[in-house]
Structures are given as C-alpha cells and as structure tokens.
Structure 1
Amino acid sequence: MTHVIRAATAGDMQALYEMAKLTGGGFTNLPPDRNALRGKLKRSAEAFTRESEERMDDLFVVVLENTETGEVRGTAQLFTHVGQSWPFYSYRLTTLTQHSRELERTVRAEMLSLVTDLEGSSEVGGLFLHPSERAGGLGLLLARSRYLFIASHRARFSDRILAELRGIIDERGGSPFWDAIGGKFFGMTFQEADEFNAIHGNQFIADLMPKHPVYIAMLPEEARKVIGLPHPSGRAAMRMLEHEGFSYEGYVDIFDGGPTMTGRTDAVASVRNAARKPVTDCDLANGEKALIATGRLAGFRCCCGIRAFTEGGVAIDPEAAQLLRVREGDEVWSVAR
C-alpha cells in the first residue's frame, strides 16, 4: 500500500476544497467554502504546534495521501472538546408517559428535546474518502487512524467521544427533518442553514430555535421515519462505529435528524487495544495485518502494514517502515486490523 495518513497543511487547501464539492450537502465539517476551509487548516495548524498537554478546544485535520502520486484522496477530523466556542446542540429522543384514570388509558408520547448534553465530549468527524478510492481498506485506515492519534495523545481528549452521522437527504438535496422543524422557524432551506452553520457556527440555533420539546406525533410522516437514520452512504460508517464500541442513545442532529453515536473514549476498541512498542525489526515478511502509527502532533503518520510482537518490541514490514519513516529503535503504536 502506498497510502499514508498525515497532518493536513495549508498546501492541502485545494485538495480539500475539491473533495468538499463532492460531498453532496449535509456535510458540515467539510463545507465547499474556501474561507471556511482555510480557517479549519489554520486552527488545525495551531493545534498541531501546541506542545501543552492541557485539554483545550482543538481541531486536528488529517489527510490520506498517495505517496506515489502525492495526491490527497481523503480527510478526517478530530475535535478534542466540543461546545467550548459555542453550544453543542443535539435533539434527544425522550418519552413522556401520562395516565388518565377516568379513561383507564396510558399514553406514551415521544418527543425531541433540544439539549447540550454532549458538551465537553471529543468528536471524530469530517471523514470523507474520494469516490475513486473507496476500496482496498482505505476507509478503514482513514477512520481508525484517528483512534491511534487519540491513543498517542490521550491527555488532550475527553473521556466521552461522539460521532455525528449525516442524516437522510432527498434527491433535491433537502432534508425532510429540517423542513418539518427548523425550516418552519428560520425561513431557510436545509442547504442554506447547513452552509451557514458550517461557516459561521450554530449560535443562530440558540437565538431562534424554540426551546420547547417537539412532539414527534405532530411531525409529517416523511420527517418521523428518518429520525435517527443515517444517510445510505453512512451505513458502513455506522457499523464501523458500532464495532469500535459506539452506540446510539437517542441523540440526533438538529439539522437532518441523523444519529449521533457516543462512547467512552478508553472503551473504543482501537484506543483500548492500541500497543505502544519500540521497533525491533523493519524487515518482517509475514505477520498480523495492522494499522501502525508513529510521531507526535504534526509528525503523526499512520499506514496499513503487518506486525509481529517480539521479546523487546514489535517487528514491522519494510513498506510500513518506509511510509512511516521509522527504523529500529523508533517507537510505534499499532492495532490489529
């Protein structure tokens, strides 16, 4: 494999912009707006250069690079502490049970309540793989590399972690969920609101969104049936998150109704099982398939390779050693594929 995950730089701006134009909407963390992307890269660069281990509101942007061609073919993001710059809003599904003695009837009403329960969590998001590269395990590499980054920089991340999955978007690029709720109060289409949020943040939600619970039974059927469902392109990502130990606990996105998956950071499989070892051999020919990473902050690199634990550390294959730019004695983190 010739692909490696590395820290994004200002030079990746055009590649990120071209990928952002391919997302098809509803992808808040990767807006097709040059100024917004420049802002993300600037914020990421500041996070990668900050040596302090203090937990702050950092954003790390990584990219998937084909080292043979130099092309950037994917990207992903990590947020260390959401809800610090502005509130982190979600809807949470709740149930209100009421009983009438006279009618001898119990009624259970499902509601959507606007909450900030997830403030302070870390977040993995912004994952996008170029359509021409969606094969050969590159999506898995891109997604799980973030957990090796978390494991190797654990002090910077919270004890709870979340991942927002894009909800159902119709063929016009609209959202039945937004049309039924947000669209009634903001006078904006889903695409307009989503773009505004991506560029300016969601403080406008706090300013204008009604704070009272929304009774689901009062929503149109088109909106009710998409609550908590991921976009078809995100079903594999949802399964991958579940495999890592994330679960759906009734939190949904306030724009498109997509599910928010949550978990305990130290219980995420790729964080829990990550092994930190010195390299004892760079010529391994046969071994266990693994994700292997090295480097701190801006020096972080991750690739797919093979490993075998040895008495004094871990042996890796020469291709991985070359991609990671490591030699015997250097330290790597790894987790089984």
Structure 2
Amino acid sequence: RAEGLGLLLARSRYLYIRRHRARFGERILAELRGVIDEAGGSPFWDGLAGRFFGMNFQEADAFNAIHGNQFIADLMPKTPIYVDMLSDPARAVIGRPHPNGRAAMRMLETEGFKYNGYIDIFDGGPTMLGKIDNLKSVAQAREARFTGTHGEGGVKILVATGHLDDFHCTYAQALFDEDGGVRLDEAAADRLGLLSEDAVLVVER
C-alpha cells in the first residue's frame, strides 16, 4: 500500500469496468470493515446481532468466513430496528470504518463514492455507493494508441490493455501525441507486452 499498490488495484478494477461497461449496471458499492475493539470484538455486533445469535463476534466472524453472511439476513428480524434501542457503544460506531480503513474510505470518496447511510449488519461498517459513470477513473479514462516508448519524464498515468481474462493494468509515465497516440516508459510497455498501434485505456493518476 505504501507504494500505491492498493490504489493501483482499486483503480484497475474501475478501468476494467470501463473497458467492459455493458457487463455492469449503474451503481457500484464497496464495503469497509467496521470498528473492532482491542479485544477483537465488535461493539456493533454485541449491541445488535450478537443478541440474536448466541455467539461472540470472533465466533461469528469465523462462521462467516466459512459459510458466508447470509445466515445473518435469514435470522435477523425483518422489522425495523430503532437505533435508540441499541447500546451507546453500538450507536457510536454506526457507519464508522475501522481506523485502518480510513485511508481506504478517503480514497473511495476521492473516486466518487459516497456514504449514504447504508451499513454492514455484521459490524456496522459503512457501505460506500457510487454511480459507475461518475467515478473518476471511469469518467476521465480515454482510449489511445500506443505509438512507442520514451525516455524519462512524462505524465503519471494508469494504462490498461486487453479484455476479460487478458486484461492488464499498470502505472506508467506517458507523453501524449496530438493525434491521439501515447508513448510510455519502456518498463511499463514491457510489462503490458505492447506493440505499436495497440489500443490502450489511459487515465491520469
């Protein structure tokens, strides 16, 4: 993450969606881990779901890893639950990400995601929503032709090529030509295996 690999992974997903736009709907969501205390417990779980399941958060987390979280939806009450009926610790963490997830939340907000009050029933973490066509990486991406490599300098970009299971994305330094061509640093071109006039998808970092 310190080298920007988390950002590369996230934005490469959005470029993948842009490259295969017809395969996706109008909206996208991202779930962030909720607040976990020093003992490994979840105040939100203890204040809500834990009362219905007879297991602590660690046990529920292990069960969820094996069986998925559908069991929560199946067994939780189908009627509204009033927030004022929850314990103070549970209310305090509603919609808050784990401290380790705050940077990820800011990254999502920069991309165009918003927190609209949806939370994970498991740990109370925020569910971020975005309109795909309004995401920064989707809206600002453009098609270009690879016209060769260059030396040092250039604009920092993400560049993607290929389709479906042949899709690849990497960081690059780019120089743009007036006729729609783009020249990349040699290392990036080698990573993608590009040949002259190959179609690429580019977006500035």
Same fold (TM over 0.5): yes
Q: Compute the displacement of 1:207 (Å).
A: 2.5
Tell me the residue number matched to 1:329. 197
Tell me the residue number matched to 1:240. 107
Q: Distance in 2 between matches of 1:180 and 1:237?
A: 26
1:208-232: CA deviations, max 9, x gaps?
A: 1111222212211111110000001
Tell me the residue number matched to 2:33. 166
Tell me the residue number matched to 1:302. 169
Tell me the residue number matched to 1:314. 182
Q: Distance in 2 between matches of 1:139 and 1:318?
A: 23
Task: From 201, 217, 223, give the equivalent of 2:84.
Answer: 217
Unmatched runs of 5 consecutive residues or more in structure 2: none
Matched residue type, 1:323: R
SS in 1 for 2:13: helix
Tell me the residue number matched to 2:73. 206
Cα RMSD over matched residues?
1.3
Asked if structure 1 preserves the Cα contact closer than 8 Å seen for 2:34 and 2:98, the reply is yes
Matched residue type, 1:242: E
Unmatched runs of 5 consecutive residues or more in structure 1: 1-133
Matched residue type, 2:26: D
Q: Which has the higher contact order (CA 8 A, sep 6+)?
A: 2
Length-normalised TM-score, structure 2: 0.94
Asked if structure 1 preserves the Cα contact closer than 8 Å seen for 2:158 and 2:203, the reply is yes
Tell me the residue number matched to 1:15. none
1:230-278: CA deviations, max 9, x gaps?
A: 0011101111111111101000000000000101001001011111111
Tell me the residue number matched to 1:286. 153
Matched residue type, 1:200: H
SS in 2 for 1:305: strand
Q: Distance in 2 between matches of 1:243 and 1:203?
A: 31
Q: Quick check: which one's helix share is greater?
A: 2
Q: Distance in 1 between matches of 2:66 and 2:197?
A: 44
Task: From 181, 185, 193, give the equivalent of 2:48.
Answer: 181
Matched residue type, 2:66: I
SS in 1 for 2:84: helix
SS in 2 for 1:279: strand
Q: Distance in 2 between matches of 1:224 and 1:139?
A: 30
Q: Distance in 1 between matches of 2:198 and 2:161?
A: 8
Matched residue type, 1:151: R
Asked if structure 2 preserves the Cα contact closer than 8 Å seen for 1:282 and 1:327, the reply is no
**Could you tell me the percent identity over the aligned residues?**
62
Structural mapping, 1:1-337, within 5 Å: 134-310=1-177, 311-337=179-205
Asked if structure 2 preserves the Cα contact closer than 8 Å seen for 1:280 and 1:312, the reply is no
Asked if structure 1 preserves the Cα contact closer than 8 Å seen for 2:15 and 2:160, the reply is yes
1:47-86: CA deviations, max 9, x gaps?
A: xxxxxxxxxxxxxxxxxxxxxxxxxxxxxxxxxxxxxxxx
Asked if structure 1 preserves the Cα contact closer than 8 Å seen for 2:144 and 2:199, the reply is yes
Q: Compute the displacement of 1:284 (Å).
A: 4.8
